Structure 1
Amino acid sequence: MGIRREARELALQMLYALDANTTTGLRETLQTFREEQHETPANIREFAEGLVTGVQQHREAIDAAIKARSKNWALARMPRVDLNVMRLAVFELMFRNDIPKKVTINEAIEIARRFGDKDSPAFVNGILDEIEACAKTEEPAEEQI
Structure 2
Amino acid sequence: MRRSEAREHIFKMVFGLEFNEKEEMPEQVRLYFEQLEQMEEKDKEYIQKKAWAIADHKDEIDTLINEHASGWKTTRMNKVDLTLLRLAVYEMKWDDDVPVSVAINEAVELAKRFGGEESPSFVNGVLAKLAV
- Tell me how far apart the structure 1 counterparts of residues 107 and 42 of structure 2 sit (CA, whole Å): 20
Number of equivalent positions: 132
The sequence identity of aligned pairs, in percent, is 34
Unaligned runs of 5+ in 1: 134-145
Q: Indicate the residue corresponding to 1:137 in structure 2.
A: none
Structure 2 residue 51 is the aligned partner of structure 1 residue 52: yes
TM-score calculated relative to the size of structure 2: 0.90
The 5 Å alignment of 1:119-138 reads: 119-133=118-132
TM-score calculated relative to the size of structure 1: 0.82
Q: Indicate the residue corresponding to 2:60 in structure 1.
A: 61
In the TM superposition, structure 1's runs of 4+ consecutive aligned residues that sit over 4 Å from their partners are none
Q: Indicate the residue corresponding to 1:32 in structure 2.
A: 31
- Tell me how far apart the structure 2 counterparts of residues 79 and 30 of structure 1 sit (CA, whole Å): 22
* Cα pair distance change 1:47/1:76, threshold 3 Å: same
Q: CA deviation at 1:113?
A: 0.6
- Tell me how far apart the structure 1 counterparts of residues 126 and 24 of structure 2 sit (CA, whole Å): 28
Amino acid at match of 2:82: L
- Tell me how far apart the structure 2 counterparts of residues 71 and 13 of structure 1 sit (CA, whole Å): 26
Q: CA deviation at 1:43?
A: 4.0
Aligned alpha-carbon RMSD (Å): 1.8
Unaligned runs of 5+ in 2: none
Report if the CA contact (8 A) 1:51-1:88 is conserved: no
Q: Please list the CA deviations of residues 86-140 of structure 1 after superposition, one character each: whole Å capped at 9, or x if unmatched.
A: 100000001011211111110000001100011000000011111111xxxxxxx
- Tell me how far apart the structure 1 counterparts of residues 25 and 19 of structure 2 sit (CA, whole Å): 12
Structure 2 residue 87 is the aligned partner of structure 1 residue 88: yes
